[in-house]
Amino acid sequence: MAQNSQIPQTQTLQQQLLINGGHTPESYIYKGGYHGGDSNNNTPLPLAQIPVLDLSQLSSASVGEAPLNHLRLALSTWGCFQATNHGISSSFLEKMRKISEQFFSLPIEEKMRYGREVDGMEGYGNDLIFSNQQILDWSDRLYLVTNPKDERRLEFWPLNPPSFSREDLHEYTVKLMEIIETVLIAMARSLNVEPNSFTDQVGKRPTLFKRFNFYPPCSTPHLVLGLKEHSDGTAITVLLLDKQVEGLELRKDDQWYRVPVPAVADSLLIIIGEQAEIMSNGIFKSLIHRAVTNSERQRISVVSFCCPEKDIEIKPIEGLIDEKRPRLFRSTKNYLQTYFQNYQKGERSVDGLRI
């Protein structure tokens, strides 16, 4: 996923803060503050009332009409839902959070043993830089491919802290792939198309990227963003939130909302990505969201991005095209090839595919 136009720079945010004596480096600053409406003054954003769905009901072969209707409404309005009864224990989710905190607490020299290559995505560090004008995100991350198993680059998988268990990460990946398949099949059923309509386009060997995010405190939180406004270039994203510190904000109907913590106990946030929006012919909405910072507390999150096989053609499902709802998107392949550059420019790849 390297890009030829990438600017060689791998210095992490933590390294730049040490160099700048804790002051905010210019390369992270939105002049005049980021465009956040009420987020730039003392008026707090309203809390997001994200739908909560019982995944055990959606996974049933005899799933009723009501859960499917709730799923369709959630994904066509919010573009996300909080999944409960997903089959992953509270203690296991807490372990994922804990290893994230412990890894990012290591000395820089230790973390840099797993530093990303100059032109690569995987590993520890910052995101790729495509332009000298690019405003950087106030975050460091560890980025790993965890599925397919034979595409893992274990040289980027930390051996320290000792709690960072490769077996646990493999188990988490297997469980998430099961959850994602359940959601994709339920999405199809909610639209009255063949149950395999979404899974066929995702493919038998989808890529699952794992991103461990670290957002350090910032002395000027109104001038930076932990992650800039975007929607994901995925089919499905699964997000494990910090239990104590807010930071995720999402947009619905041109209004920004903040996501409260603690979230629904032991829930996972399931997010629709741009590729699923294309498959659904625009019925399901890819969630536009961002991450903000604060001046007092660090925050972590663990994100899992499920992307279709790059050689499979992504297009609107035939059963969702008719005279009343014509085809809205062109077909595409290898979606991520341009996604990351568009993300850094504040553009959405899905918009460029609209007919």
Distance, CA of 255 to CA of 43 (rounded, Å) = 14
Cβ burial of 96 (10 Å; 0-12, 13-18, 19+) is: middle
- The residue-averaged pLDDT of 49-77 equals 94
Q: How confident is the model at residue 2 (pLDDT cuts 50, 70, 90)?
A: very low
Q: Is 83 helix (H, G, I), strand (E, B) or coil?
A: strand
pLDDT at residue 242 is higher than 70: yes
* Spatial CA neighbour of 274 closest among 176, 340, 177, 181: 340
Q: Determine the average pLDDT of the residues in 158-187.
A: 97
Task: Identify the residue whose tokens are 């792939």.
Answer: 177
Sign of the torsion angle spanned by Cα atoms 1, 199, 189, 186: negative
What would you report as the CA-atom Rg of the chain, rounded to the nearest whole angstrom? 20
pLDDT of residue 38: 45
> Rounded to whole angstroms, how far apart are CA atoms 60 and 312?
28
Considering 74-78, 133-137, 348-352, the range whose residues carry the highest mean pLDDT is 74-78
Tokens of 126: 């910052």
- Strand 52-54 to 80-84 pairing: parallel
Q: How far apart are CA 112 and CA 82, in angstroms?
A: 34
Residues with Cβ within 8 Å of 309's Cβ and at least 6 positions away in sequence, in order, are 202, 203, 204, 205, 206, 207
271 vs 229: CA distance, rounded Å: 15
| Predicted pLDDT of residue 11 | 66
Helix 90-104 with 166-190: angle, nearest 10 deg: 120
Domains defined for the chain, CATH in brackets: 13-353 (2.60.120.330)
Which of 70-84, 183-197, 229-243, 328-342 has the weakest average pLDDT? 328-342
Looking at every residue in the chain, the average pLDDT score rounds to 91
DSSP state of 48: P
